[in-house]
Amino acid sequence: MKPNDMKYEINKLSDAFYNIHPDYAIINQRVKFGTSGHRGISTEGSFNEHHILAICQSICDFRLKINITGPIFLGIDTHALSVFARNAAIEIFAANNISVIFEGFDAYTPTPVISHAILAYNKKNNNKADGIIITPSHNPPQYGGLKYNPFHGGGADTATTEWIQNRANEYLLEGIHKLKRISRTQASSKQLLIEQDLLGAYIEELDQVLNIDAISASSLTFGVDPLGGASIAFWQRIIDKYKLTIDIICDKTSPDFNFVPADKDGEIRMDCSSPWAMSRMIAKRKNYDLSFGNDTDADRHAIVAQTGLLHTNDYLAIALDYLHKSRVNWQLKSLVGKSVVTSDLISAVAYSHNREVYESPVGCKWFATSLFNGEMTFGGEESAGGTFLRKNGQPWSTDKDGLIMNLLAAEILSVTGRNLQEYRQDLERQHGVFSGINDSISINRDKLNAFQNIDFSKITPALLGKDIVIKHETTAKANNKPIGGIKWTTKNGWSVVRVSGTEPMYKIYVESFIGKQHAQEIFDETKRLIETNLND
């Protein structure tokens, strides 16, 4: 949404949330879980009170099905629709006699804090807990979203979300009026609403996952732009507790996010991997030794060196290399998680540390079980998401954790004294050239439907970047699950095309093992091929 339209639209979101009742006959108004949860817009009938009621009742049913009897942890971000959705969720959970543990009615809670809280509770209790986070992540201000994290603390797998989605759509079809609800007052009187300092518990244990003392002892200065999201309180509290020299360059929150720089297409989008959204921090980068950013629920990270915004693939490779040199108590035989669109530099670094690579479809949810079991030391994906184990090899968070990923960059600089850009160049000297390009192309609903109906097996090109296409894949190597598109591979690079799981757009990811010009050739050829098929 363009900034000039935002004020008008925000004023309509609340009314639409309560007064527009989704029509089951319209496919786009049904519950649909994408890469990470259900997302939509209230004025379009795709994220409304009825969706939340149906999804939350379905989660209650799912809990009964797999015998989860503990509390549910609930977090929200700063999007306008999040508070309304939280209130509706509480009515359903309380009516099902489920205790809800949350930060408080006036607080926001980052996704990784909820993941950490679920794990901490389940380590001590037999009646397992799970959680929901009400967030559309980095999506524009008019969006709402809800994702479910089971007892392992990470995003739910596809089988789980399909079950919840299908049950929720049954409730939409049968009529929401049949669902039992109780008010917040009734829930409070039954002592089902439990306020806890979840953020404080997360902050208190940071020394178990990071060398926080090294950061505190350094004379380094840091900057951070939370992009108006749920991480604002986190950054202020770690400044106070650990005496870090961090400048929060913007501590505003507002449902229209009108203070966030517009993305390249003019939309306000809290995407911390975007140089446009992060332009405010980038402009101030030379004032600090290192700077950071987060999206609205803080499951994504951004690292801004004095040379500029690090590409997320570059930083993931740096983080992976440093962690496997410094975490001496991690298992010698363990996995490293990466998605099918994440740089092969990750694989090269992992192999150099004698780690196996688990290549999944897009979404850190595919790493959750292995992280939970301690079988995977690190999971990272191109969309600026990653997490890793505690120093003792136990799980910390099993969802994307933009907070520890940012602070890890501070640790690396504090401990090694190495400029992160120079670190990346050292990795290239060791492992070869890895030049990547990725872009998102907005399309209308008709073209989106056309994209989803493309038979990719019939359009595989003979050549890509002047090289023969030696392999095409529509499923991921690790688990044979669909990648939502196709990957074409040559001896000197690869290209992936897939539909976005959150907005009407498709995405192209490219990597060359020769250089930037070759990567651009692959990208241009890929885009022409897709556009030709969409226009036929």
Where in the sequence numbering do the catalytic residues fall?
137
Percent helix, strand and coil across the chain, each rounded to 5? 40, 20, 40
Whether the CB-CB separation of 179 and 172 falls below 8 Å is answered with no
- Partners of 101 in the beta sheet? 73, 194
For the chain, counts of helices (H) and of strands (E): 17, 23
Task: For residues 327 and 53, give the distance between their C-alpha atoms in angstroms, rounded to a whole number.
Answer: 44
Whether the CB-CB separation of 282 and 261 falls below 8 Å is answered with no
Tokens 């350094």 belong to 218
Q: Per residue in 28-60, is it b (16+ CB within 10 Å) or e — as a string?
A: ebbbbbbbbbbbbbbbbbbbbbbbbbbbbbbbb
Task: For residues 483 and 485, give the distance between their C-alpha atoms in angstroms, rounded to a whole number.
Answer: 6
Q: Cα-flanking dihedrals φ and ψ of residue 452, to 5°?
A: -65, -15
**Of 207, 269, 277, nearest to 242 (Cα)?**
207
- The pair of structure tokens assigned to 333 is 């035989």
Report H helices in 71-230.
80-95, 111-124, 158-174, 184-189, 198-204, 212-217
**Of 135, 136, 60, 61, nearest to 91 (Cα)?**
60
Largest CA distance in the chain: 69
Task: For residues 502 and 267, give the distance between their C-alpha atoms in angstroms, rounded to a whole number.
Answer: 15
**Of 223, 220, 248, nearest to 233 (Cα)?**
248
Whether the CB-CB separation of 516 and 452 falls below 8 Å is answered with no
